[in-house]
């Protein structure tokens, strides 16, 4: 028995229904054909963010970062490796707080990097400070 889950397309934000049995089979967006699970961090602005999180039934791990932040840059390759390891299980998203300052303020992001984990559009936990690949994978579980 396979369950049906839902994933927002990283490119066009269309909600796609995906059988859980097919999560590992490179499913593509029915609307635009983009891979639903790229296995890489997805860059989202504030306009796209809420749609993406609310239309995704898989856990979404978000890295709120800024280009001038040293620890953020140090964590970036770890975040990419974690995205590859968690492909089809957790969607990893990056939000540039410099481009979306009002949005970061609304979410009370005071320090960066801040990591926030969402399930079904609801924040379930957050942490401040950089993590390495293994810690990211464990934290998202
Ligand atoms: Zn799409």
CA of 52 to the centre of ligand 1 (A): 11
CA of 71 to the centre of ligand 1 (A): 32
CA of 130 to the centre of ligand 1 (A): 31
Please identify every residue annotated as catalytic. 69, 72
CA of 43 to the centre of ligand 1 (A): 14
More confident site: 3 or 68: 68
Query: Residues 64-96: pLDDT tens digits?
Result: 999 999 999 999 999 999 999 999 999 999 999
Query: Residues 44-71: pLDDT tens digits?
Result: 998 899 999 999 999 999 999 999 999 9
Category of 39 on φ-ψ map: left (φ > 0), alpha (ψ -120 to 50) or beta = left
Model pLDDT, residue 29: 97
Structural tokens at position 79: 């975040």
The C-alpha R_g of the chain, in whole angstroms, comes to 14
């Amino acid at each position: 028995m396979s369950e049906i889950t839902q994933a927002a397309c990283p490119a066009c934000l269309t909600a796609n229904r995906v059988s859980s049995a097919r999560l590992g089979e490179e499913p593509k967006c029915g609307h635009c054909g983009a891979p639903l699970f790229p296995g890489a961090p997805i860059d989202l602005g504030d306009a796209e963010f809420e749609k993406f999180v609310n239309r995704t039934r898989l856990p979404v791990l978000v890295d709120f970062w800024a280009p001038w932040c040293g620890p953020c840059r140090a964590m970036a390759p770890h975040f990419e490796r974690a995205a590859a390891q968690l492909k089809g299980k957790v969607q990893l998203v990056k939000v540039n707080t410099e481009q979306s300052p009002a949005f970061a303020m609304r979410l009370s992001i005071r320090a960066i990097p801040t990591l926030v984990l969402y399930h079904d559009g609801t924040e379930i936990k957050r942490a401040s400070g950089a993590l390495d690949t293994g810690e990211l994978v464990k934290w998202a579980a």
